[in-house]
Amino acid sequence: MQPGDPAELRTRLGRNLTYGLLDALGRAIVIGAYEDQPFPTEAELAKQHGVSRQVTREAVKMLTAKGLLSARPRQGTIVQPATTWNLFDTDVLRWLLERKFSVELLQQFNQLRVAIEPEAAALAAANASDADLEPIFAGLKRMEAAERGFDDPLDADIAFHVAILRASGNPFFVQFRDVVTTALRSSIRFTNRIKGRSASVPDHAAVSEAIARRNPDRARKAMKKIIGDVLDLIETSDNPAES
């Protein structure tokens, strides 16, 4: 199939329609649009959204895989309770963070971070190669540049934290990077708005220095301080501003 062929264009269009429907239905489920009504049938969804039954079927399958829907004999497709949703799925997490802002969800996310990222920093200090460490140092330089207005503070901060997860060498921590990237965007915007400034470069530099000096204990403590400060800020905030 050559690029630009009608078959290729139909495939691409179908994929875009599927993801568009997935996003629309996922958002609707997360905000509670189907709490007091049954979830539509595939035929009803196809008619409502002007798409084919195949597109509808694929979107429903994807939502089922994310834990938002389930199909039961004689009951049809039903919306699952939030306790079954896959919070490590970046679409689900994004929908949750984009609905009415929740300080509690933000707090829970950072509680997860404090359980993982300090240990990732310690592992990076103990085991990472020089090549693994370069993105960490580059992330710190980006944060320094952002303070002078030459980079994006949010992207630079995320790059630093993701680089440490990668440098840990632990494949489970590395896969956490997409969750961190998605949720940090809301977390950093919220905490920066309260503080009136971006993340502390000296605090991040302390993590980078401890990793560079191959000191796992210092790296662990320095990262725990960063996330601990965020948790303190969230806990003392009475500003449930929308993200």
User: What string of pLDDT tens digits covers the 243 residues of the chain?
Assistant: 444 454 443 455 457 889 999 999 999 999 999 988 899 999 999 999 999 999 999 999 999 999 999 988 777 899 999 999 999 999 999 898 887 667 888 888 899 999 999 999 999 999 999 999 999 999 999 999 999 999 998 999 999 999 999 999 999 999 999 988 888 888 877 777 776 666 789 999 999 999 999 999 999 999 999 999 989 888 887 554 443
CA-angle at 14, arms to 13 and 18, nearest 5°: 120
The pLDDT, as a whole number, for residue 163 is 97
pTM of the complete model: 0.81
- Describe the crossing of helices 53-65 and 6-30 by its angle, rounded to 10 degrees: 50
- Look at the alpha carbons of 211, 213, 217, 222 in this order and tell me if their dihedral is positive or negative: negative
Residue 87 DSSP symbol = T
CATH superfamily for 100-236 is: GntR ligand-binding domain-like (1.20.120.530)
6-82 CATH pick, 1.10.10.60, 3.40.50.300, 1.10.3720.10, 1.10.10.10:
1.10.10.10
Residue carrying the six token digits 């320094």: 144
Ranges for all domains in the chain classified under CATH 1.10.10.10: 6-82
The pLDDT, as a whole number, for residue 73 is 77
Ranges for all domains in the chain classified under CATH 1.20.120.530: 100-236
List beta partners, residue 77. Answer: 71
The pLDDT, as a whole number, for residue 213 is 97
- Look at the alpha carbons of 36, 41, 44, 46 in this order and tell me if their dihedral is positive or negative: positive
